[in-house]
Every structure is written in structure tokens, then in C-alpha cells.
Amino acid sequence: MVRQVVVLVGALLATVAGYWGSGAGGARSQQEVGDGALSADATPVAPGEPAFGIWSVIYLGLVAYALWQALPAQRADARQRRTGWLVLASMVLNAAWIGVVQADLIAVSVLVIVALLAVLLLAVARLGERAPHGAVEAVVVDGTLGLYLGWVSVATVANAFAVAVTAGFDATSAAADVWAVLGLAAAGAAGVAYAVWTRGRLAVGAAIGWGLVWVVVARTVGDLRSTPAAVAAGVAAAVVIAATVVARLRGRDRPLVG
């Protein structure tokens, strides 16, 4: 019961922190913090601003998850016991990341987001130990955490490049294009690895594909244009989506989550 209550409170606090960090609550928006290092045109791997709308879906999913896991029937559920505290940790780290970037500590923010990524990987791994008990759990729990993991994977790459920019790296140089291709290739490789690992979890692949497609948009119509980065992001998105679909089809004879 303690876990259920704390996770519920954590979801509400994380949502409030997200609202505040978006700029709607009086704080600076993500496009403004760190002298714009996290804006859509700060680095060649940054997704277009509309891509961040996925956070609304993730926060809604986290609140739905928190309410669902608080039901009496979930109190002793093995899956919730294995993942509840990890989901709470992800919410705390998410809020911490917002606080860190609001303080313009961009270098520290990458450490926080890497920790968040590690926690989400562990949570998804634990969910994979058992199949969900029905469609509601598959969507509310596995779907939400799948989107969360996929998006944070893309955001981690963007965050790392933001640190480089704050350190003086020229985002418009030829070297930046090379590093962008490598970074986007890494995001694509992670997406393929997730597809194989989770047997084609759709939410993970969809979130990574979403982020990469918006990198393509930002590099072709935004202020910081880069053909190499746009092509790399487009190829990576296509490969991740294809790998997810293939892994899903190949795993149809086994339990799937998400």
C-alpha cells in the first residue's frame, strides 16, 4: 500500500514538474534554458519542437498507470511489485532533470538523463519477465513505459550534443555533421536492439521513430539545416520501425508486452 500511495503522489508531482518545465507554469521553456542549448535548432540531432508533444502522452500515461496500480487488486501483483519503485525513481529523475536544466546545469543534466534511461531499461526488463494481465495493463503499464523508454533514448542523444554545444562545439561545422550521423546511427541501433530484446514492443519503436522523424523535419525546414543529419535520421527511423514490425511478427507465438 505504501508503494501504491507513493507512486500515485510521484506521478502527480512529476506531471506538475513537467507542466512547470514546459514554460506554462512560469518557468523558462526547454527552448530557453541553457542559452538555448536544448532548443530544436541548437544541434543537428535535436528533434523539432512539436516532437516534445509526446511528453503530454507520457505524463497522461503515467497518471493513468499510477491510478491503475493504486487499485486494491494490484496491491500484491508481482509485476507491480517488481516495477513500481523503478517507475517512481523515473518520475523523480524526470523532475530532477527539469530542475537541473532550469538551473542551466546542462552538463549535469546529461548525467541525470543517463540515470533515467538506465532505470527505464531495468523497469522494461522486469516487465518482460511476465506477460500483462489483459489489454488495460498492456496499454497503461507496458505501453506507457515503452513510450517513455523510446523517447528518453532519443532525448539522451540530443542532451549529449547539447552539452557539447555549451562547451563551445560548433553545431554548424562539418565535424558536427559527422558526429550527428554517428549519434543518430547509435539511436537507430538502440531501437533495433530494443525491437529484438522486447520482441517488437510497438510503443518503444513508435517513440524512437517519432523522435527521429522530427529530427528529419528540423534539419530540412528549421534554422539549422543538415542534409547528412536528415538522411541519417530518416534511415534510422525507417530501420527501427521495420525492425520493430519484423520482431513483432516473428514473436507472435510467444507472449508479447506493450
Q: Which amino acid is at 15?
A: T
Nearest-CA neighbor of 151 among 197, 187, 198, 176? 187
> Is the pLDDT at 90 greater than 70, yes or no?
yes
Task: State residue 155's pLDDT score.
Answer: 95
**Cell of residue 246, nine digits:** 519484423
* Burial status of residue 23 (CB atoms within 10 A of its CB: 0-12, 13-18, 19 or more): middle
Q: How confident is the model at residue 253 (pLDDT cuts 50, 70, 90)?
A: very low
Task: Name the average pLDDT for the chain.
Answer: 89
Task: State residue 161's pLDDT score.
Answer: 94
155-185 tens-digit pLDDT: 999 999 999 998 888 888 999 999 999 999 9
> Is the pLDDT at 129 greater than 90, yes or no?
no
Task: State residue 258's pLDDT score.
Answer: 44
Nearest-CA neighbor of 65 among 8, 111, 130, 121? 8
Q: Is the dihedral of CA 185, 173, 110, 10 positive or negative?
A: negative
Domain boundaries, the chain: 2-250
How far apart are alpha carbons 252 and 109 in whole angstroms? Answer: 39
How far apart are alpha carbons 43 and 39 in whole angstroms? Answer: 8
Task: Confirm whether pTM is higher than 0.85.
Answer: yes
19-70 tens-digit pLDDT: 776 666 666 777 777 777 888 888 999 999 999 999 999 999 999 998 888 8
CA distances, 77 to each of 9, 11, 31, 69, 99 (Å):
19, 19, 41, 9, 33
Nearest-CA neighbor of 212 among 145, 164, 153, 161? 153
Task: State residue 190's pLDDT score.
Answer: 96
Q: Out of 7-21, 22-36, 105-119, which region has the weakest mean confidence (pLDDT)?
A: 22-36
180-196 tens-digit pLDDT: 999 999 999 999 999 99
Task: State residue 255's pLDDT score.
Answer: 44
202-239 tens-digit pLDDT: 999 999 999 999 999 999 998 899 999 999 999 999 99
Alpha carbon dihedral 101, 105, 110, 112, in 10-degree steps, equals: -70
Over the range 53-91, which residues count as b (16 or more CB within 10 Å of their CB) and which as e? ebbebbbebbbbbbebbbeeebeebebbebbbbbbbbbb
* Under 8 Å between Cβ of 228 and 181: yes
> Is the pLDDT at 133 greater than 90, yes or no?
no
Q: How confident is the model at residue 252 (pLDDT cuts 50, 70, 90)?
A: low
> Is the pLDDT at 109 greater than 90, yes or no?
yes
Percentage of the residues of the chain whose pLDDT score is greater than 70: 94
